[in-house]
Amino acid sequence: MKKLVKITIALLAFMNASSAIYGQKRVYTVANAHAHNDYANSVPFYYAYEKGFASVEADVFVVDGKLMVAHNLKEIVAKRSLKIMYTDPLAVKLAKDLNRHIILLIDIKQDYHNTIPLVIRELKPLMKYASAKGMPGRLKVIMTGAVPPAAELNNYPKWLQFDVNHLAGFTPKQWERVGLLSFRFSNYTKWIGNGPMPPADYKRVASLVDSVHAAKKPIRFWETTDNEITWQTLERLDVDFIGTDEVKEFSEFLNKK
């Protein structure tokens, strides 16, 4: 039964991704769920992973040549490194769960020149699972935050993809390196899930979602309110990945439908 559940999650992830590209009505599941600031959860990585979340997010700082996971420099603790919290657990889980696909979204908090080479070195043990063009793996690694400009995206290994917040200014080759588009929700609406979204705001957000889908890319918003009306609205808007800080509540919302 447990194996069947894992296979089902993988199939749903594939079907949901396909529905975004081809305009079909999607069925939202945990395969559309993104654990925003996952490292802040009481049980980082494992809880969201076992719930079937499609994506987990880790903010990283470079400290003494190591990648440390924290929201800011003041919160850095010696045992909370990218290796301990994500690289090692992913290596174990992906070796065991042969049908599981997952996205590791790494938020660069400092200069990408220093951070990305360390990410490449750190994730080397996971490269046999990497998913990218020509690499049909199960782990998609996407850099977000202080990412390089478009002109530099192809300077990095092809398994490393990037999260951007604009559609223009890319050559076709550069655009291939974009794995996700993310936008701050409050830049498009001040609505916080207290009743229906104002029609003008809904139209504005829907237009952005349609533009991203027309460009054959997935979209997410950050700083959205964690409540059911917001989640329902994001579903109606056909947002690919819905971020949450409330892993338990969001997974229950998705699973009760």
Does 56 reside within a domain?
yes
- pLDDT of 29-68, one tens digit each? 999 999 999 999 999 999 999 999 999 999 999 999 999 9
Task: Tell me what pLDDT residue 241 has.
Answer: 99
Q: Are 217 and 178 in contact (CB under 8 A)?
A: yes
User: Which pTM does this prediction carry?
Assistant: 0.89
HSE-up of residue 55 (Cα within 13 Å, Cβ side): 27
What local confidence, expressed as pLDDT, does residue 184 receive? 98
CATH code, 59: 3.20.20
The answer to the question of residue 201 being in a domain is yes
User: Measured between alpha carbons, how far is 223 from 28 in angstroms, rounded to an integer?
Assistant: 20
Helix 247-255 × helix 228-236 angle, to 10°: 60
Span 135-169, pLDDT tens digits: 899 999 999 999 999 999 999 999 999 999 999 99
pLDDT at 11 over 90: no
**Inside any domain, residue 257:** no
Would residue 252 count as lying in a domain?
no
Mean pLDDT, residues 234-248: 98
Q: How many domains does one find in the chain?
A: 1
Flag whether 145 is in a domain.
Answer: yes
Residue 147 lies in a domain: yes
* Structural domain of 47: 2-244
Question: What's the pLDDT score for residue 133?
Answer: 85
Give the model's pLDDT for residue 132.
87
Query: Is 250 inside a domain boundary?
Result: no
Residue 86: the pLDDT is 99
* pLDDT tens for each residue of 82-130: 999 999 999 999 999 999 999 999 999 999 999 999 999 999 999 999 9
**pLDDT for the residue 7:** 42
**Does the pLDDT at position 21 exceed 50?**
no
Token pair in block for residue 77: 């603790």
* Residue 62 domain-assigned (yes or no): yes
In the prediction, which pLDDT does 26 show?
Answer: 85
Return the pLDDT at 207.
99
Number of H helices, E strands in the chain: 9, 11
The pLDDT value recorded for residue 5 is 41
Q: How far apart are CA 217 and CA 239, in angstroms?
A: 11
Determine the residue type at 83: K
Question: What would the DSSP string read from start to end of 90-120?
Answer: HHHHHHH-TT--EEEEEEE-S-HHHHHHHHH
